[in-house]
Amino acid sequence: MADQRPNPDVLLASLQREEQKARRGRLKVFFGMCPGVGKTYAMLRAAQQELLDHVDVVVGVVETHGRAETEALLTGLTVIPRQSIDYRGSVLTEMDLEAILARRPRLVLVDEFAHTNAPGSRHPKRYQDVIELLDAGLDVFTTLNVQHLESRADAVRQITGVTVRETVPDSALELADEIELIDLTPERLRERLAEGKVYVAERAANAAENFFKDTNLTALRELALRFVAERVEKRLRELRAAGPTKTVWRSGERLLVAVGPSPFSTQLVRWTRRMAAAQGASWIAVSVESARTLTPDAQRRLDQNLALARELGAEVVVTHDENVADALVRVALQNNATQIVVGKSRSPRVLDLLRGGSLVDRLLRISGPIDIYVVPAERAAERTGAWLAWSPRTLSPSREYIEVGAVLAAVTAVNLLAARLTGYQTIGLFYLLTVIVLSLRVGRGPMLLAGTLSALAWDFLFIPPIFTFYIGRLEDGMLCSAYFLVAIIAGQLTSRVRAQQRHERLREERATALFHLTRALSAAATLDEGVFAALRQADRLFGGETALLVPQPGTDALVAHFAGSFQVSEKERSVADWVWRNGKEAGRFTDTLPSAAGFHVPLKREDKCLGVLVVGVPPKVSLSLAQRDLVEGFATQLALLLEREELQAASEREKLLAESEKLHRTLLDGVSHELKTPLAVLRGAAERLPDDNTEVGGIGREMRTATRRLNRLVSNLLDQTRLESGTLRPKLDWCDGHDLINAALDGTRDSLGEHPFDMNVPEDMPLFRADAALMEQVIANLLLNAALHTPAGTPVFLAAGVDHPRERVFFTVADRGPGFPAEMRERLFQKFQRGDAARAGGLGLGLSIIRGFVAAQGGEVVAGENPGGGSVFTVYLPYTPHGAVPVE
């Protein structure tokens, strides 16, 4: 019995999906079995409903196909005009993605999810446009027929005989938050067709005979219904996985499919994807590279198949092995795959026997607990598939065949001369030597030819009776047969060894390339040097030109690094820009902006894109999947380099800052000490003078007042300097409001003496976080300001408390002075700004310091008018309550 815990992987995946969705717009798909069921109609109806709810809806693109009832539903909706694309003289119109993104509506209607865009558009497919809209946070309604679904395209072709070219990967549909099935019975649909509601008259008749046959419709309808049902079931499973459940949970199912270059592999990939989806399992697509060289065509198809698998959600693994069965089982075990999917072998039985059984036989022998699924090839695919599958094995370059013929002719000529001296048996050894030497140079096919030709030549020209293929003596016959077998086997063996060597070499080259790169990068003293080394390596390795684009510091624009050899045109720059913003590959060999000249790869570290690597190869040359992986490897290394540089620069800055801060503090402390010491002496001396009505007493009083004022000035200047040097580091701690106010009052009592003072602070004012020393000065400065800038005898009032709803602490000082005009308010907090009514001197630094100190603690200070005359200053600080304190 399986355990009852929810599978953490499934939970995580469903959580991640939720999280991704939170940022994305919502996608709703109106899903149907075929054209004419009323998807667009339903979508517009839904849009009208949204419009009633005051949602900002725009029409990105809607095809009404001239259906009147559909067109009527467009009224009231804003239609974004399509953009025109000039393609080889004719003008095509496409949805204007930029205009929609600029307009930023809540909801966009995008008809025909599977549509292929005109060449030159940003994305080749409309669904990619939709993904960009969703990424930008816009909601999208769209329509889709079942036959356009990648994983169902095969089934539809089998049912209807129509090959569907416009397909949407299933992964794109999985983004949908909601799929609404627009269902119609086949009878009703045919009625609609007859009424001309689907196609205009002449096309309707045609369509009715072909596509809209009853049998077709029933099958398509079942397909559509099943798809939606499967999806619902999958959702249910996710829901079930999210909560503890008693049902048995099949976790850890993992499918592995063997992928080759044949078109049949394409079907196999889709089949596996369907099965994986049905089981809720993950899947891997494995390609086994062996010694055989693939023709460029086959290589391209293999890459396509692997790309398809990746697109359908598979993890792609490429491995090297001469024995396909061994390789599959090895990869399956490494990846914990529980099921292996292979196609039914198409190779002749005889060859299977030679290889020690068919692939399936061998798999069954060694697979142990892993289930093996054998999927029969479809008849049509088999024909082409078998031929294509064989072609790479038998076709070696014709040059090699010519070489084999020439060498054998030459050796035969020499042998003809030598035969008189050595006898015909030794000639066989000469031939054998020739064949083995040849095997070091040519492929398997030419070797087969060399073995056969040399055996025939030996028999015909040398073995008596000569000039016949007849062999007179039994031992000659045995000798000849043995020779033939040895030649063939030797040829096979050497060519296999050679091929393996070549593969090793390729792999090694790849590893060496990355190794050299890492070494060059770590040896590089500067960033530029590293980039230069990396790009030159890349040039050599990919046989093309490369460029590196990095964001210019301080701006939003990418600039090409000078070490690049690839000329970055305006168009390439815009591609790179897209890559940098989206963190995804684009350009040639990809699905985004494939018309670009370069292959653009983001340099990503975690979530940050540090730049873009561009690889441009000549137009005819293509980069294989392996090479593209290598490009990505390069990109990773370059990203590491850039990141290292960035971190270094940052730590360098930190160090400099810390040093200058230390210097500043030392200097300030020194200045502070030097200024305050004579002040202390002055104050002490003045205090020792008698406080009476004699002349000396008067001088003492004047001195004390002057000292106080001087002290205030010096303190303010020092504080302002501290603020401006940027070295002020508030130490936030829990503060008691009463303590702060008491300390501030202690320092200002003398100055406040002539003003009636009152305050209102709740006795149980809670603690809050602030820098006590700074806050004391802030409150003291507010009180001093009130005292100094108002006529003697006018009252000063202080209030403090916590504004719970807005989560802030406030300290307010109000006076009944002349106040200040409203337009002065902002200027008040500037340096050296003095109120008009400033009675005593001062530099006008008080408020500027208050503002600086309060800002440093994350708060703000506001000046206002006191109702009934005077001014009010209020300081706000953020408030969070402290944790509970036990009574113990």
The answer to whether residue 673 forms part of the interface with another protein (CB under 8 A) is yes
| Binding-site member from 22, 91, 417, 885 for another protein (CB under 8 A) | 885
In the complex with another protein, the residue whose CB is nearer, 114 or 877, is: 877
Question: Long-range contacts of range 566-574, CB-CB < 8 Å, 24 or more positions apart?
Answer: 566/598, 566/614, 566/615, 566/616, 568/614, 569/597, 571/596, 571/597, 572/547, 572/596, 572/597, 572/598, 572/600, 572/614, 573/549
Q: What tokens were used for 214? A: 């009853």
d(CA 590, CA 596): 10
Closest contact distance (angstroms) between CB of 681 and another protein is 4
- Whether the Cβ atoms of residue 189 and residue 204 lie closer than 8 Å to each other: no
286: Cβ–Cβ under 8 A, 6 or more apart, which residues?
256, 257, 258, 259, 316, 317, 318, 319, 327, 328, 331
Which residue number, 604 or 701, has a Cβ lying nearer to another protein? 701
Question: Which residue in the set 679, 713, 717, 855 belongs to the binding site for another protein (CB under 8 A)?
Answer: 679
Mapped onto helix, strand or coil, the DSSP state of residue 611 is: strand
With b for 16 or more beta-carbon neighbours within 10 A and e for fewer, the 23-58 pattern comes to: ebbbbbbbbbbbbbbbbbbbbbebbeebeeeeeebb
What is the number of other CB atoms lying within 10 angstroms of the CB of residue 687?
Answer: 12
Smallest distance, another protein to C-beta of residue 684, A:
4
Site for another protein, residues 297 to 336, rule: CB under 8 A:
none
| Smallest distance from another protein to CB 657, Å | 19
Residues 608-637 that bind another protein (CB under 8 A): none
- Contact (Cβ atoms closer than 8 angstroms) between residue 288 and residue 416: no
Q: Rule CB under 8 A: is residue 882 a binding residue for another protein?
A: yes
740 sits near another protein (criterion: CB under 8 A): yes
Closer Cβ to another protein, 254 or 712, answer by number:
712
Query: If binding is defined by CB under 8 A, does position 10 make contact with another protein?
Result: no
| Residue 218 burial class via C-beta count within 10 angstroms: exposed 0-12, middle 13-18, buried 19 and up | middle
680 contacts another protein (rule: CB under 8 A): yes
Whole-number Å distance between alpha carbons of 531 and 641: 8
Q: Pick the piece of the chain touching another protein (CB under 8 A) from 149-157, 288-296, 577-585, 669-677.
A: 669-677
Contact segment (CB under 8 A) with another protein among 393-401, 426-434, 503-511, 727-735 equals: 727-735
User: Tokens 């500027």 map to which residue?
Assistant: 848
> In angstroms, what is the minimal distance from the CB of 801 to another protein?
13
Near another protein by CB under 8 A: residue from 677, 694, 760, 830: 677
Q: How many residues in the shown chain lie near another protein by CB under 8 A?
A: 44
Full DSSP string of 99-166: HHHHH--SEEEE--TTPBPPTTSSSSBHHHHHHHHHHTT-EEEEEEEGGGBGGGHHHHHHHH-PPP--
Site for another protein in 762-781 (CB under 8 A): 763, 767, 771-773, 776
Closer to another protein by Cβ: residue 676 or 834: 676
Site string for another protein, 744-763 (x = CB under 8 A): -----------------x-x
β-sheet bridge partners, residue 373: 341
Is 687 a residue that touches another protein (CB under 8 A)?
A: yes
In the complex, minimum distance from the CB of residue 733 to another protein, in angstroms, rounded to a whole number: 5
Burial (Cβ within 10 Å: 0-12, 13-18, ≥19) of residue 648: exposed
Q: Which of 216, 715, 720, 748 binds another protein (CB under 8 A)?
A: 715
Q: Which is nearer to another protein, 379 or 688 (CB)?
A: 688
676 binds another protein (CB under 8 A): yes
The minimum distance between CB 854 and another protein, in angstroms, equals: 16
CB of 888 to another protein, least distance (A): 5
Shortest Cβ 855–another protein spacing (Å): 19
Binding another protein (rule: CB under 8 A), the pick from 707, 716, 751, 790 is 707
Q: Which of 582, 871, 852 is nearest to 729 (CA)?
A: 852
Min dist. Cβ of residue 741 to another protein (A): 8
What SS3 state is found at 182? strand
Beta-carbon contacts of 28 under 8 Å, excluding residues fewer than 6 positions away, are: 46, 139, 140, 141, 142, 176, 177, 178, 179, 180
Among 387, 469, 515, 734, binds another protein (CB under 8 A): 734
The answer to whether residue 684 forms part of the interface with another protein (CB under 8 A) is yes
- For residue 331, give both structure tokens: 């990869």
Q: Please identify which residue in 179, 333, 559, 668 interacts with another protein, judged by CB under 8 A.
A: 668
> Smallest distance from the beta carbon of 677 to another protein, in angstroms?
5
Handedness of CA 84, 87, 89, 90 (dihedral sign): negative
The helix, strand and coil proportions of the chain, stated in percent and rounded to the nearest 5, come to: 55, 15, 30
Q: How far is the CB of 312 from another protein (least distance, A)?
A: 54
Contact residue for another protein among 672, 794, 833, 866 (CB under 8 A) = 672
User: Shortest Cβ distance from residue 728 to another protein (Å)?
Assistant: 11
Of 241 and 735, nearer to another protein (C-beta) is 735
DSSP string, 497-540: HHHHHHHHHHHHHHHHHHHHHHHHHHH-SSHHHHHHHHHHHHHH
Nearer to another protein, 528 or 807 (CB): 807
Q: What does the binding site for another protein look like in residue numbers (CB under 8 A)?
A: 665, 668-669, 672-673, 676-685, 687-688, 707, 711, 715, 718, 722, 731, 733-736, 738-740, 742-743, 761, 763, 767, 771-773, 776, 882-883, 885, 887-888
